[in-house]
Structure 1
Amino acid sequence: MQTPKAVLDFWLTTVGEAGWYKVDPELDAQIATKFQTTWEAALAGGLTDWCVTPRGTLAYLFLTDQFPRNMFREDARAFATDQIAVMAAKKAVERSWDLRIPEPERQFFYLPMMHAESLPDQERCMRLISERMPEHGASNLLHARAHRRVIRQFGRFPYRNDALGRDTTAREAKYLSDGGYGSTVRAIQAEGAALGGQ
């Protein structure tokens, strides 16, 4: 079992911002080796005592929202602790604990809502990034818009269907074959460029 400090030190210092969104099988394996047992404790309903301080909550969100996405790519377990991460993030935001964490790591209080298959959570994520990340929010806002657009279009993320054992509709299959999430990001970027050129 790892401590909140171990989680924070690993993600913020050992990995660092440059590695947060890289697809790196070696890093994924390292996270699984170090943190899977601790993640399983959270999945079983434990470790809620981490969520009594801003930094403890941040560690809990790394563990429940970020780490499973590395440990379990293309596996339903990648999303197994999403709901508890969303609940912890919302409680922290209600207490303004996110504002006690500097940018750019503040984004991790909002990412559980970006990952939610819920339009109200997507809208809330957009507002929070817009209002509470003045220095480092631009890239996050692009991806928040893209996630929200996918949820508006399909009500869920089609690229999770295989991992979750869900049937893919014909409309979703076309979306995936046309580039999926990447195509959504590019479309939003193109729209922004067109607006900038007017």
Structure 2
Amino acid sequence: MPRPDDVLRFWLDEVGPDGWYVADDALDATIRDGFGALVDRAADGGHCDWATTPRTALAYLVVADQFSRNVHRGDGRAYAADRWARAIAKLALRLGWDMAVPEPGRQFFYLPLMHAESLQDQERGVRLILLRMPRTGAQNLLHARAHREVIRRFGRFPHRNADLGRATTAAEAAFLDQGGYGGVVRRLQEG
């Protein structure tokens, strides 16, 4: 079973910032093959014991909040560990562990808040990126604001509806037809 250092070496050093947010079938398969068992255990509450140091908590958040989206892309299981990731992120933030991790890796302490279907968590995520990522946070701040805008408008992420078996409202369907999240990002970039 991979350990926290294996997760961080792969994600921070091998994949790196250029690959973190790219939908890539080959990367998804690599993560599934190498870390899929960790993801599935995290969805069941496993590996929370990794939250004992800043680095091991960071590794947990990468598994629960990032790898889960790669391993289960297009499937509701992509979000199965989100509640655990938020809990560990909030613990780590309370302990100041995010500040022990250099940018840009620090962002993974804030992403569980950005992925939450909670306006309070969204607001906190925006503030944290604004205040605690001065060097590399500009692009993250744009996306944090876009996530927050979607939650402000709908109270949930409409693009998840199909994956989670939720009915899509007429307003959400119109939003998705008009570019959805990507449309919000473009509008914020222009404004």
- TM-score scaled by structure 1? 0.95
1:7: how far off? 0.5
1:121: how far off? 0.1
Q: Distance in 1 between matches of 2:44 and 2:79?
A: 14
Asked if the contact 2:42/2:48 (under 8 Å) is kept, the reply is yes
Check if 1:43 corresponds to 2:43. yes
Backbone CA RMSD of aligned residues = 0.7
Amino acid at match of 1:16: G
Q: Distance in 1 between matches of 2:115 and 2:38?
A: 21
Match of 2:101 in 1: 101
1:43: how far off? 1.9
Match of 1:86 in 2: 86
Check if 1:28 corresponds to 2:28. yes
Q: Distance in 1 between matches of 2:72 and 2:41?
A: 16
Amino acid at match of 1:73: R
Aligned residue for 1:39, secondary structure, equals helix
Pairing 1:43-62 to 2, within 5 Å after superposition: 43-62=43-62
Q: Percent identity at matched positions?
A: 58
**Structure 2: any 5+ residue segments left out of the alignment?**
none
Amino acid at match of 1:58: L
Pairing 1:1-198 to 2, within 5 Å after superposition: 1-191=1-191
Cα displacement string for residues 17-62 of structure 1 (whole angstroms, at most 9, x for unaligned residues): 1111111100000100011111222222221221000000000000
**Structure 1: any 5+ residue segments left out of the alignment?**
192-198
Q: Distance in 2 between matches of 1:22 and 1:31?
A: 13
1:189: how far off? 1.2
Q: Distance in 1 between matches of 2:176 and 2:9?
A: 37
Q: Distance in 1 between matches of 2:40 and 2:74?
A: 18
1:72: how far off? 0.9
Cα displacement string for residues 77-113 of structure 1 (whole angstroms, at most 9, x for unaligned residues): 1100001000100110111000000000000000000
1:66: how far off? 0.1
Question: How many aligned residue pairs are there?
Answer: 191
1:74: how far off? 0.9
